[in-house]
Structure 1
Amino acid sequence: MHAKPALSALHRVTARGARLTRGWSASPRAMDVLTALSCLGLTAIDLPGLAAADNSLTGRSAAVVLALGCSTLLVRRRMPWISYLAALLFIGWLHELTLIQFALYSVGRYRGRRAGVLATLGYLAFSLFLFCCVPGWPETDHESLTGFLGIVVPIGVLASAVGIAAYRHDLVAELTARRAEAAVLQAVQQERTSVARDVHDFVGRELTLLTVRSEVLSMRSRETSYAKDFEELADTARRAHLVLNEIIVQRGERASTPGVEGLAALAEESGRAGSPVRLAMDPEVHGLSPLRQAAVYRVVQECLTNAAKHARGETVEVSIAADGPRLRIAVSNALPDRTPGRAPVSAGSGTASMSERVISLGGTLTATRTEDSYEVVATLPRG
């Protein structure tokens, strides 16, 4: 058979490729191309024999057929069964066993143990059928059957076993990476908790003082026109303190972020603050999970806050639409001419916070600013 030295040759090529790529951060596509070229190089050794055999192939046509078969390895990650079927065709037509080794390895590597074992059993059964029933293969005496099994079985079992081992190695590596990521997230969460406690202690104290002083000033100026302003200031500080408690202290007890049903009140509040809102929302949005509704609310809330800072008096367009499996949130507003030296106070972290929240749910967020407008577009998976 043409592939008697193929196992040792495959090991040599694999080891050489490993040394070649050890210091080279190769992409998966580049590795697939290298694998296909390696397989083609090994099968090219059989070109003289294929042209001389009774299979109606010349040297040029044999090279084309082998190249087409090896090219199926370019899709071995997504569709390894294509290489497997092409390898079975090579066995029956050309008695060529090189491609089947790469195909069985690919099935085991990218489809797991069950698929690898199934592919190996199918390969062995097909080879045994050809050996026993197809003319042109060796006669079915005991000696030739033993030699046949001594070639076919090790090729299939070893290639599939190496692929399954690599699959398990990939699973262990992914598990290790996920554990490391979970440890980092836990550390970040602990740091956030520590920061939140500091914020609650210091900001909460200042808000309490602001509330008390505003109430005192309201009582002292009861007979003046400023009494109502001080009362509103005291109410605002009190609400801010309550929200601070809900976000930091009671986070684990109940949800502190409203859903999409709170957008109407949010738009009304923004209108009272001087930034009218035109809200357009698909009815299907009400069927989203609470986590996604909270994300929608926070994105719109941050955008309205930015509009109040940078575009006070301008109308804010808010559109929340269900686009197939995705949810699209678009918030835009015009930008007024800003007097030099009177830019609003802004830390610039609002957009980053929105983006982090959206990305954590598998979505994307883009913020586009032009000379006369500002637009934020976020997309989220609905499921």
Structure 2
Amino acid sequence: MHDQAAAPPMRRAAAAGRRLGRLWSLMERWRGTPLAVDLLTAAGCFALMSLDIPGLAQADNALNGAAATAVLALGAATLLLRRRVPWGPWLPYAVSLVFIGWLHELTLVQFALYSVARYRGRAAGVLACGGYLAVCAVAYAMPDWPAHRGESVSQFLALVVPVGVLATGVGIAANRVDLVRALEAKGAETALLQAVQDERTSVAGDVHDFVGRELTMLAVRAEVLSRRARGERWGQDFDELSETARRAHLLLNEIVVRRGSGGGAPTPGLEALPRLAEESAGAGNEVEVSVDDTAYNQSPLRQAAIYRVVQECLTNAAKHAPGQPVRVTVRLTPDRLRVTVTNPLPPARPTVPPVSAGTGTAGMEERVRTMGGEFWAGRGEDSYEVRAELPRSSPT
């Protein structure tokens, strides 16, 4: 009986916990998003303006406490539109000017001037600040605005002018920061695209070198067989085979070389991994290389892809995990050629950040995926791991 009575409250508590978890997850996703920032901005503006509600209810502006609250809430809500429509920042600005003349309220205009300067640039911010000062100058000259102004113009200069100039200046500075961040993001995107293009060019160069060599051997072999078969009925077939190999080689040159292949020596294969390990050991990272003997029979293009993955991983280990051991494993399964590179995470971050363009991983992934493979890189609990898998080729 006791268990039956306790079960419903326990289920309700569990359901409440699940709802709280979903709410927390939603808040985590929204935190830092433009909508969340705008909501907090509008709420903060309304909270500051609400401090003046008792005074507004007593002033001669036909507003009681509830009406003043609603009007100020609607004014603060216009900040939600400041970057969602082309004229968004100007709406709270216009409302703030109405608040100045009607309610003698200067809080909203600070947020409005900041929004105009940040999201519409310096020229718009300066124009908005000038309009605000002009409106305030006219309103301040009236006998009843503001009630505490006294007879001195110095209070106008000490209150109204600093509010507008400071809000506009902060908005202009934020606009500059946004522009710099946008340029940095664009530069990173350009560098990433360039890295992908460079890797494609490298793949094209390897295709030209490896496949071109085989086509040349095919043409030469066909010519030898053609000479041996002279006078036989199949001699002409060898001539046609040799000519086809030549045309294929010329076509390969047309596609790869004349359209931007980087040229240079072809990418090495698995036999060059020990040399990479020695170079990394000289830089402070001991490398253990384990390669299946059968993997050396894979095609040169697949071996070149594995070499590039290992090369980039060892470079990254030297930058981000100096002194840590690295393990390289190359395995051949019935249908896949797999490489795994792991290294422990360093005990502490380097005091001086390594110089890195952040595009090497994109280059590795591009080469692997170009060949129909799969690529993964990420941190574990205490290590960093890179895995790449390629379709197995016929033994060569």
TM-score normalised according to structure 1 size:
0.54
- Given the alignment of the two structures, is residue 94 of structure 1 paired with residue 103 of structure 2, yes or no? yes
Normalising by structure 2, report the TM-score: 0.52
Match of 2:80 in 1: 74
Q: Which residue of 1 aligns with 2:140?
A: 131
Q: How does 1:323-362 map to 2 (within 5 A)?
A: 349=370
Partner of 2:40: 34
Change in Cα spacing, 1:231 to 1:114, as seen in structure 2 (3 Å) is farther
Partner AA of 2:134 in structure 1: A
CA contact (8 A) 1:39 1:70 kept: yes
Task: Establish whether residue 175 from structure 1 lines up as the match of residue 199 from structure 2.
Answer: no
Structure 1: runs of 5 or more not aligned: 1-20, 254-346, 353-383
Which residue, 226, 249, 260 being the options, matches 2:257?
249
* 8 Å CA contact retained: 1:138, 1:144: no
Paired position in structure 2 for 1:109: 118
Residue from 147, 150, 153 that aligns with 1:145: 153
Structure 1 counterpart of 2:127, from 113, 118, 121: 118
Which AA in structure 2 matches 1:122? G
For 1:161, the equivalent position in structure 2 comes to 169
Q: Which amino acid aligns with 2:154?
A: T
Distance 1:135 1:142 in 2: 10
Identity among equivalent pairs (%): 60
- Out of 71, 77, 84, the residue aligned to residue 93 of structure 2 is 84
Per the alignment, residue 59 of structure 2 pairs with 53
After superposition, give the CA deviation of every residue in 1:101-124 in whole Å (9 maximum; x if it has no partner).
Answer: 001111111111111111101110
**Aligned equivalents of 2:38 and 2:154: distance in 1?**
35
Map of 1:257-272 to 2, 5 A cutoff? Answer: none
Task: Pick closer, same or farther for the CA change 1:227–1:68 going to 2, 3 Å.
Answer: farther
Q: What letter matches 1:51 in structure 2?
A: A
Mapping for residues 176-215 of structure 1, pairs under 5 Å = 176-214=184-222
Cα 1:29/1:222, change in 2 over 3 Å: farther
Letter in 1 for 2:137: L
Q: Secondary structure at the match of 1:105?
A: helix
Q: 1:48 deviation in Å?
A: 0.9
Aligned residue for 1:54, secondary structure, equals coil
Residue in 1 that maps onto 2:334: none
Change over 3 Å in CA distance of 1:227–1:115 after alignment to 2: same
* Coordinate RMSD, CA, aligned: 3.5
Alignment pair present for 1:44 and 2:50: yes
CA distance in 2: counterparts of 1:57 and 1:221, whole angstroms: 110
- How big is the shift at 1:246? 2.3
Q: 2:104 touches 2:146 (CA, 8 Å); kept in 1?
A: no
Q: 1 or 2 for the larger relative contact order (CA 8 Å, sep ≥6)?
A: 2
For residues 146-193 of structure 1, what are the alpha-carbon distances to aligned partners after superposition, in whole Å with 9 as ceiling and x for unaligned? 212211101010011001101111112222233333344444444444
Distance 1:232 1:61 in 2: 94
For these two proteins, the number of residue pairs brought into alignment is: 237
- Kindly indicate whether the alpha-carbon contact (under 8 Å) linking 2:75 and 2:96 is maintained by their aligned counterparts in 1: yes
CA distance in 2, matches of 1:37, 1:187: 44
CA distance in 2, matches of 1:175, 1:151: 37
CA-to-aligned-CA distance 1:223-262 (integer Å, 9 cap, x gap): 658956x666555544432332123221249xxxxxxxxx
Query: For 2:61, what is the secondary structure of its paired residue?
Result: coil
Asked if the contact 2:201/2:260 (under 8 Å) is kept, the reply is no
String of CA shifts for 1:31-56, please: whole Å, max 9, x gaps.
Answer: 11111111111111111111111111
| Alpha-carbon distance in 1 for matches of 2:171, 2:28 | 19
Query: Deviations 1:30-88 (Å, cap 9, x if unpaired)?
Result: 11111111111111111111111111111111111111111111111241111111111
1:218 is displaced (CA, Å) by 6.4
Which segment drifts farther, 204-213 or 148-157?
Answer: 204-213
Instruction: Report the counterpart of residue 326 of structure 2 in structure 1.
Output: none
What is the CA–CA distance in structure 1 between the aligned matches of 2:101 and 2:145, rounded to whole Å?
10
User: Structure 2 unaligned runs (5+)?
Assistant: 1-26, 262-367, 374-396
Distance change >3 Å, CA 226–CA 110, structure 1 → 2: farther
Counterpart Cα distance in 2 of 1:72 and 1:24: 20
- Taking structure 1 as reference, are residues 236 and 129 closer, same or farther at Cα in structure 2, changes over 3 Å only? farther
| Cα 1:214/1:157, change in 2 over 3 Å | same
Mapping for residues 1-20 of structure 1, pairs under 5 Å? none
